[in-house]
């Protein structure tokens, strides 16, 4: 199973590969730049080469690039929207240069303008970014937790966006376990996992799911709370993860943990826990 965590690019971007290897990861996720601002510098050619050389010389597979925090692909604010589309296009180009196959993005908030408006904005944003970044890197739409005014908390919403995006072979899904659970998909028990997987396959198609963010949930089922918890310490629990990863398709995807780091558990501890649950 390809298991890893989000690692820092501090120092230079190629150091992320070193950190992933040191942690015992077999996949990993990064931001390619400071995630808390709009401005960023172009990647240096030597850093790109070092990153690719280290990646190719390791056992790491299918790394993920996560979009920064500020972009909102569903916003009605035209200035923010343009900046968001530009960042998405830039991340697709940066990931392609680094040999990263996927850019994971949150879909954002329609700010009260309505779900139909928000979905249309996301579709247009993806189409513009994909046209500008003419390469093979895919956009992965991350399912959201169902917070107020958010877009993408149901499989039906995600299907609509896929159907409107061209080329549709460059858009897939990142299944976040905490978000899905908070949005109302019960993956804490065998029957709920089976129903969720069947719905996912029927509405979207399992082949569209390209990566998983593995997080337990501090909020109960359907709470809409995007609050990640250590593996096995939240409402999903060990049983839920064991049932979910009994499905072969999910076991073969890049599994990236975005769990807390605190006195109870660190990244290595969460990876070890997930491996223990899944063996």
Evaluate whether 179 touches 144 at the Cβ level (below 8 Å): yes
227 is catalytic: no
Catalytic option among 6, 106, 110, 170: 106
Tell me 170's DSSP state: G
Evaluate whether 20 touches 61 at the Cβ level (below 8 Å): no
Spatial strand order of the sheet with 29-30 comes to 3-5, 255-257, 209-214, 171-176, 138-142, 102-105, 64-66, 29-30
Half-sphere exposure of 151 (CA within 13 A, CB side): 29
Catalytic option among 179, 208, 229, 230: 179
The string of DSSP codes covering 234-261 is SSSHHHHHHHHTTSHHHHTS-EEE----
Evaluate whether 258 touches 211 at the Cβ level (below 8 Å): no
pLDDT at 6 over 90: yes
**Tell me: the pLDDT tens digits for 127-161?**
999 999 999 999 999 999 999 999 999 999 999 99
Q: How many CB atoms lie within 10 A of CB 268?
A: 14
Per-residue pLDDT at 279: 82
Residue 37 is encoded by which pair of tokens? 């601002």
Tell me 150's DSSP state: B
Name the band, by pLDDT with cuts 50, 70 and 90, for residue 172: very high
Q: Which fold has domain 3-278?
A: TIM Barrel (3.20.20)
69 is catalytic: yes
91 is catalytic: no
Residue 68 is encoded by which pair of tokens? 């920064």
Q: Average pLDDT of the chain?
A: 97
**Tell me: the pLDDT tens digits for 92-124?**
999 999 999 999 999 999 999 999 999 999 999
170 is catalytic: no
pLDDT at 278 over 90: no
79 is catalytic: no
**Tell me: the pLDDT tens digits for 180-209?**
999 999 999 999 999 999 999 999 999 999
6 is catalytic: no
226 is catalytic: yes
Per-residue pLDDT at 190: 97
The string of DSSP codes covering 24-41 is T-SS-EE-SS-TT-S--P
106 is catalytic: yes
Catalytic option among 22, 42, 53, 69: 69
**Tell me: the pLDDT tens digits for 45-91?**
999 999 999 999 999 999 999 999 999 999 999 999 999 999 999 99
Catalytic option among 14, 91, 176, 267: 176
Per-residue pLDDT at 177: 98
Catalytic option among 86, 132, 201, 258: 258
Among residues 40, 44, 117, 43, which one has the least CA distance to residue 83?
A: 40
Per-residue pLDDT at 156: 98
pLDDT at 226 over 90: yes
228 is catalytic: yes
Residue 120 is encoded by which pair of tokens? 């249309």
Catalytic option among 14, 142, 229, 267: 142
**Tell me: the pLDDT tens digits for 259-274?**
999 999 999 999 999 9
156 is catalytic: no
pLDDT at 32 over 90: yes
Per-residue pLDDT at 74: 98
Instruction: Give the long-range contacts of residues 85-88, CB within 8 A, separation 24 or more.
Output: 85/125, 85/128, 85/129, 87/38, 88/125, 88/126, 88/129, 88/139
The helix/strand/coil state of 173 is: strand
142 is catalytic: yes
């Amino acid at each position: 199973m390809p298991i890893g965590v989000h690692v820092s690019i501090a120092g230079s971007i190629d150091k992320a590969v070193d950190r992933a290897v040191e942690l015992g990861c077999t996949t990993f996720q990064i931001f390619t730049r400071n995630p808390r601002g709009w401005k960023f510098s172009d990647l240096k050619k030597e850093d790109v080469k070092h990153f690719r050389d280290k990646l190719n010389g390791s056992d790491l597979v299918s790394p993920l690039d996560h979009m920064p925090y500020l972009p909102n692909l569903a916003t009605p604010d035209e200035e923010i929207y343009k900046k968001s589309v530009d960042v998405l296009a830039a991340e697709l180009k940066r990931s392609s240069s680094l040999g990263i196959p996927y850019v994971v993005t949150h879909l954002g908030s329609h700010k009260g303008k309505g779900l139909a408006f928000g979905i249309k904005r996301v579709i247009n944003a993806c189409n513009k970014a994909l046209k500008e970044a003419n390469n093979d890197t895919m956009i992965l739409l991350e399912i959201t937790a169902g917070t107020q005014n958010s877009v993408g908390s149901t499989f039906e919403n995600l299907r609509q966006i896929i159907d409107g995006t061209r080329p549709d072979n460059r858009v897939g899904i990142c299944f976040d376990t905490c978000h899905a659970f908070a949005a109302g998909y019960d993956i804490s028990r065998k029957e709920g996992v089976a129903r969720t997987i069947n719905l996912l396959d029927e509405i979207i198609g399992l082949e569209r799911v390209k990566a998983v963010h593995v997080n337990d949930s501090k909020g109960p089922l359907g709470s809409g709370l995007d609050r990640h918890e250590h593996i096995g310490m939240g409402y999903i629990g060990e049983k839920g993860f064991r049932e979910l990863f009994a499905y072969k398709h999910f076991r073969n995807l890049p599994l990236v943990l975005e769990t807390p780091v605190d006195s109870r558990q660190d990244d290595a501890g969460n990876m070890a826990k997930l491996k223990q649950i899944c063996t």
